[in-house]
Structure 1
Amino acid sequence: MTRFTTGAVTVRVPATSANLGPGFDSLGLALALHDEVTAEVTGDGVVVEVRGEGEGNLPADETHLVARAAFLAFDRIGARPAGLRLSCLNRIPHARGLGSSSAAIVAGISLAAALCPDAGFGLDARLRLAGEIEGHPDNVAPCLLGGFTIAWTDGDGSRAVRLEPAPGVAPVVYVPAGQGLTAHARAALPGRVPHVDAAYNVGRAALLVHAITAAPELLLEATDDRIHQQYRSATMARSAALVAELRHQGVPAAISGAGPSVIAFGDAPGDVDGFEAFKLAVAEGASVI
C-alpha cells in the first residue's frame, strides 16, 4: 500500500523555450526562471493559493492545472489522497511562449511523485504522463529533465534525451506585455508545407543540435526556420518583426514556443520597444527543494 509523505513538499520547475527555430515540437531549452509549488496531503478537498503570475485569475480548486496534473499522477500511481493543499509562487509569465502550462503540469506530477516516494514513479513515467496532458513533449521534456532536450513520441508515448549546451550558449528572452494563445498560433499553421521547406528544416534542426552543444558560432544559421514562424507572423507581428531585426543584426533569434516571446542568443541587446529582456542561464530540471 502506497503511503503519503507526512508534511509539505516543495518542487521548483523552470521556464522553457521550445522549437528554437527549426525544431518544431521537438527541441527545447530549460531556462533559469522558476515557479515553486508546495503541496501537502489533507483530509478533504482541494485548496490552491496563487501568488505572482495568475494571482486572482487562476482557479483555487481541483480545476487548477497543477492540481489536475497531480491527481492524474496519483491515479497513475494508484494512491489518490482525500485532499490536497497547494501553494503556488508563479514567476513564469503566462501565455507568452515560455512553457507556463508545462511548468504547472510538471509541478503537479513531480509533487505527486514526491508525496508518494515509495511508488517508484520515475522520470520516464512522469514524462509520458506530462506529454499526454500537454499533448506534445517539447516543453515538458526540458522542464522535467533540464538542459537542452530532444523529444519525440513513439508507441509508448513521450520520450526525450537531455544534452548539455556549450558554455557559450547565453539565452536572452524578450517578453512582451501582451499574451498569446497556443491554440491561435497552432490554428495558423497549414496542413502541409512544401517538401523543400521540410528538407530545409531537417538540416537546420540537425545543425542546431550541433550548434547548441558544440558550436554556438553557428546558431544564426541553425535557428532559421521555414515551417511554422512565417505562418504565425500575422498573429504576432511585433514579435516577428523583432526576430527579423535581430537576425538582420547578426543575432540568432526565434519565436519562443508558440510566442509571443522571442528567444535570442549571444550578444543580444537589452530591452527593446515593447519587450522586456531577461538574460537567463540554462537551467536544471524539476527538483524537490
Structure 2
Amino acid sequence: MSAVTLGRTVKVRVPATSANLGPGFDTLGLALAEYDEVVIEALEPGQLEIEVEGVGAGEVPTDESHLVVSTIFYVLGKLGYDKPGLRLHATNTIPHGRGLGSSGAAIVAGIVGAAGLIEDQESVSDDTLLELATELEGHPDNVAPCLFGGLTIAWVTASGAPRSKKLLVDRGVSVIVLVPEETMSTSVARSLQPSQVPHADAIFNLSRAALLVAALSQSPELLFESTEDRLHQSYRAAAMPKTKALIDDLRAEGLAAVVSGAGPSVLVLCDDPADRLRAAEIAQARTDTKWSAYLTAVDIQGATVEEVPNQTVSPSA
C-alpha cells in the first residue's frame, strides 16, 4: 500500500445533473451549472475534520459516513493507498432529495478528490472513474454527466461495464429547473415502476429518446415532442401530485417540461430563452406549494479538480 502525501490539498467542483429528461429513462443525463465545491486536505491518519456550508449544513453527517469522505476512503483503498486523515470543507448549492443528482455529485466529488490526492492522478482513466461512480451510485445516468459534463448517453456493456458518450448541447437550448419545498426518495420513486411495460409504450419511448438526442444537439425546435414519455413519469405521478400538476400546466402551454431525475423537481428545456420566464410565472401561479426557479445553463466541463498549492487558498474560496 502507498501513502498519500501529507498536506496535499485539492479543490473539487461538481455540477448538478438531471437524469431521464423525459423519455431517456436510466440512459440520458444533463449536467447543469449549479455546483458543489469541496476542498480536501490529506492529514495524519486518524484525523478527520469536516465543515459544511450551504445546502445540508447542520443536516449531513460530519463523521466517516459523510458521503464524500466515505467515497474518498473507498476509492483510495481500491487504488492501493492507505487511509489518510482528512480535512474537508464543502460549500454546497445543489438541493438535496430533489432529483438534481446531489448524491451522485457527492460520490463524484469523492472519486475525483481521491484521484486528485494521489501524485499520479492521470493514471486513473475516465472509464475507471465512471466504473467507480456507477458501482457506488448504482446506475450511470447521473454520474456520467456529473463527471464529464454536457449531455451524456449512458449504457452498460454485455460484460457489465458502464460506458457513456458525451454530446454538446445546441446553443439554442436554455434551461430552467423548478424546485419544490418537498423532497422525494429515489428508492421510493423506483419502487413505483412496473416490471413490464406495454410493447407500444416501449416503442414510443425509443422514438422519443432518439428524437430528444437530435433536439438537444441540433434541433431545439423539436424539444416539446421529443420529451414525451410513457415509461416512468405516469407511474410515479401519484407520489408527486404537485409535480404532475405543474408539468401538466407547463406542457399545456407548449413548454417541454419533464420530471428531473426521480423528482420532485421539474426540468424545462426551452428553445427560446424567454420561455424560461414564462415557465417561472406558471410555477409561481400555483398555490399548492412554493416553487423556486433556477434559471441555469448546461455545464460543459463536468467535474474538475485542481491542486491547491502551499495551502494558500482558503477552503471557502
Q: Give the one of 197, 200, 207 matched to 2:211.
A: 207
Check conservation: 2:13, 2:38, Cα contact below 8 A: yes
- 1:185 alignment partner, one of 172, 186, 189: 189
Inter-partner Cα distance in structure 1 for 2:149 and 2:84: 32
Cα deviation digits, residues 66-124 of structure 1 (max 9, x gap)? 11111121012111333112111110000000000000000000100000131511211
Moved over 4 A (4+): none
Among 121, 137, 151, the residue aligned to 1:134: 137
The aligned counterpart of 1:285 is 302
Q: 1:153-232 maps to which residues of 2 (within 5 A)?
A: 153-154=156-157, 155-232=159-236
CA distance in 1, matches of 2:148, 2:29: 10
TM-score by length of 2: 0.88
Contact (CA 8 Å) 1:149, 1:160: kept in 2 or not? yes
1:18 aligns with 19
Amino acid at match of 1:277: A
Q: Which residue number corresponds to residue 112 of structure 1?
A: 114
2:238 partner SS = helix
Segment of structure 1 superposing worse, 41-50 or 25-34: 41-50
Q: Once the 2 structures are TM-superposed, how far is the Cα of residue 7 of structure 1 from its aligned partner?
A: 3.0
The DSSP-based 3-state class of the residue aligned with 1:11 is strand
Tell me the residue number matched to 1:42. Answer: 43
Q: Matches of 1:24 and 1:117 in 2, distance apart? A: 38
Q: Secondary structure at the match of 1:110?
A: helix
Equivalent position amino acid for 1:167 in 2: R
Task: Name 1:76's counterpart in structure 2.
Answer: 78
Q: Does 1:151 align with 2:154?
A: yes
C-alpha separation in 2, matches of 1:233 and 1:156: 31
Deviation at 1:3, TM superposition (A): 5.3
Kindly provide the amino acid, as one letter, of the partner of residue 303 in structure 2.
A
1-side partners of 2:91 and 2:23: how far apart? 32
Q: Give the structure 2 partner of residue 95 of structure 1.
A: 97
- Are residues 183 and 224 of structure 1, via their aligned partners in 2, closer, same or farther at CA, if it must alter by over 3 Å? same
Pairs aligned (count): 289
Kindly indicate whether the alpha-carbon contact (under 8 Å) linking 2:17 and 2:30 is maintained by their aligned counterparts in 1.
yes
What amino acid does structure 2 have at the position aligned with 1:276? Answer: S
SS for the counterpart of 1:59 is coil
Q: Is the aligned partner of 1:32 residue 2:33? A: yes
Q: Which runs of 5+ in 1 are unaligned?
A: none
Whether the aligned pair in 2 keeps the contact of 1:2 and 1:116 (CA below 8 Å) is no
When Rg is computed on C-alpha atoms for both structures, the one with the higher figure is: 2
Q: Counterparts in 2 of 1:248-259, with a 5 A limit?
A: 248-259=252-263
**Contact 1:41–1:81, Cα closer than 8 Å, also in 2:** no
Instruction: Give distance in 2, aligned partners of 1:124 and 1:47.
Output: 31
CA distance in structure 2 between the aligned counterparts of 1:153 and 1:71, rounded to whole angstroms: 26
> How many percent of aligned residue pairs carry the same amino acid?
51
Within 5 A, what are the aligned runs for 1:260-271? 260-266=264-270, 267-268=275-276, 269=278, 270-271=280-281
Q: Distance in 2 between matches of 1:164 and 1:2?
A: 38
Gaps of 5+ in 2: 307-317
Q: Secondary structure at the match of 1:166?
A: coil
Change (3 A) 1:153 1:46: farther
CA RMSD of aligned residues (A): 1.3
Aligned to 2:4: 4
CA distance in 1, matches of 2:108, 2:200: 36
Contact kept in structure 2, 1:211 and 1:217, CA below 8 Å = yes
8 Å CA contact 1:47–1:62 kept in 2: the answer is no
Contact persistence 2:4–2:84 (CA under 8 A): no
CA contact (8 A) 2:77 2:83 kept: no
